[in-house]
Amino acid sequence: MLRIEPAVAISDRRELTGLSLSMFRLSQWLASPRPYLMVVGFALFLGFWYMAVEVWKLPRFEQLPGPTAVLREWLSSNPTYGTSIYTSDYYVDIWVSVRRVAIAFFLATALGVPLGLMLGWSQKFKEYVFPVFELLRPIPGLAWVPLAIVMFKGLETPVIFLAFLASFFATALNTMLGVQSIDESYLRAGYCLGASRWQVFRHIVIPGSMLYIFTGLQISIGVCWFSLVAAEMVSGQYGLGYLINTSYITVRYPTIIIGMVTLGAVGYATSALVRLVGDYMMQWRVRELALGGQS
């Protein structure tokens, strides 16, 4: 955990907001050993991959493309298997996947957060809706594929729908737990101070469940990618899942790895973005943590 020296914290903390605070944190991070340990971790992983595949040719690894082969293919202006950073198809695949995830995640959040808030806030609403919700939630995304294709026209909407579903359940459930986790005294304090039921909802319930909501969104963006790739492998055209699947069928092994690594990077980026938005919206939490959780 990042621990700011007390002297710095007291003099600077209150001045720093938004971007300058982020820059401050970045400089603290760079001054700590953490980024360098991370680099070592990556080096060990890539080193093992290289040795296992290209030098030792270990059983089970001998069929795999090694890191140099993947890198050569990836950076080649004239790739053997047709996909590299110089081919426009690569970017079409990335863009199509990102767009699908963005739409699915946006819809899941826009519907899941209000549903979760309602479930947590109104006992009556919960009694109507939650049993149905809990019955639908464990159904794996892939089981929805036939229905999705029957329900939605075209190739695009079924894929988005499948990515949406998993994401939606994760968000709604965590939001509900967030509302339920709010300490009763906050609500009581609100009423004591003269807030109406709506004001308590707006000023206590929503911000009070924010921590859980963003935990939910972290999970949600993850499962969104997960089901998107599964859906792209089953149906749909373009997209990173589609790229991986067609590369497998057409025996383009380095391209599979390119697709996988790209998914990892793009997935990480979207996840980091969600975290960043969360930190921005919960400055109070960030500041508490910066003090080392002192209370």
Partner 1 sequence: MLQPIAKPRPTAPRSGALRIDQVVKVYDPDGAAVLAVDHCSLDIRAGEICIVVGPSGCGKTTLLNAIAGFHKIDSGSIFLDGELLCGPGRPQAEPGPDRIVVFQNGALFPWKTNLENVAFGPVMQGSLSVKQAHEKARSMMADAGLSGTENSYPGEISSGVRRRVEIVRALMNDPKVLLLDEPYRALDSLTKSVMHEALLEIYYRNQVTIFFITHDLEEAIFLGHRVVIMTSRPCKPKKILQVDIPHPRRYDVLTTPRFRALMDETLEAVHEEAIKAFVAGEREG
Residues 68-97 that bind partner 1 (CB under 8 A): none
Looking at 59, 77, 185, 249, which residue binds partner 1 (CB under 8 A)?
185
Residue 55 to residues 61, 68, 85, 163: CA-CA distances in angstroms? 11, 11, 27, 40
Residue 280 is a binding residue for partner 1 (CB under 8 A): no
Measured from the CB of residue 287, what is the shortest distance to partner 1 in angstroms? 6
For partner 1, the closer CB: 147 or 193: 193
For partner 1, the closer CB: 77 or 294: 294
Measured from the CB of residue 199, what is the shortest distance to partner 1 in angstroms? 5
Applying CB under 8 A, what is the total number of residues that bind partner 1?
28
Measured from the CB of residue 295, what is the shortest distance to partner 1 in angstroms? 6
d(CA 99, CA 220): 16
Measured from the CB of residue 210, what is the shortest distance to partner 1 in angstroms? 7
Looking at 12, 62, 89, 288, which residue binds partner 1 (CB under 8 A)?
288
For partner 1, the closer CB: 129 or 195: 195
Measured from the CB of residue 194, what is the shortest distance to partner 1 in angstroms? 4
Residues 41-60 that bind partner 1 (CB under 8 A): none
Residue 25 is a binding residue for partner 1 (CB under 8 A): no
**SS3 per residue for the chain:** CCCCCHHHHHHHCCCCCHHHHHHHHHHHHHHCCHHHHHHHHHHHHHHHHHHHHHHCCCCCCCCCCCHHHHHHHHHCCCCCCCCCCCCHHHHHHHHHHHHHHHHHHHHHHHHHHHHHHHHHHCHHHHHHHHHHHHHHCCCCHHHHHHHHHHHCCCCHHHHHHHHHHHHHHHHHHHHHHHHHHCCHHHHHHHHHCCCCHHHHHHHHHHHHCHHHHHHHHHHHHHHHHHHHHHHHHHCCCCCHHHHHHHHHHCCCHHHHHHHHHHHHHHHHHHHHHHHHHHHHHCHHHHHHHHCCCCC
For partner 1, the closer CB: 15 or 77: 15
Looking at 60, 123, 194, 249, which residue binds partner 1 (CB under 8 A)?
194
d(CA 208, CA 180): 10
For partner 1, the closer CB: 3 or 57: 3
Residue 183 is a binding residue for partner 1 (CB under 8 A): yes
What x/- string results for residues 196 through 225 when contact with partner 1 is judged by CB under 8 A? x--x---xx--xx-x---------------
Kindly list the residues in this chain that would bind partner 1 in the complex (CB under 8 A).
Answer: 13-14, 183, 185-186, 188-196, 199, 203-204, 207-208, 210, 282-285, 287-288, 291, 295
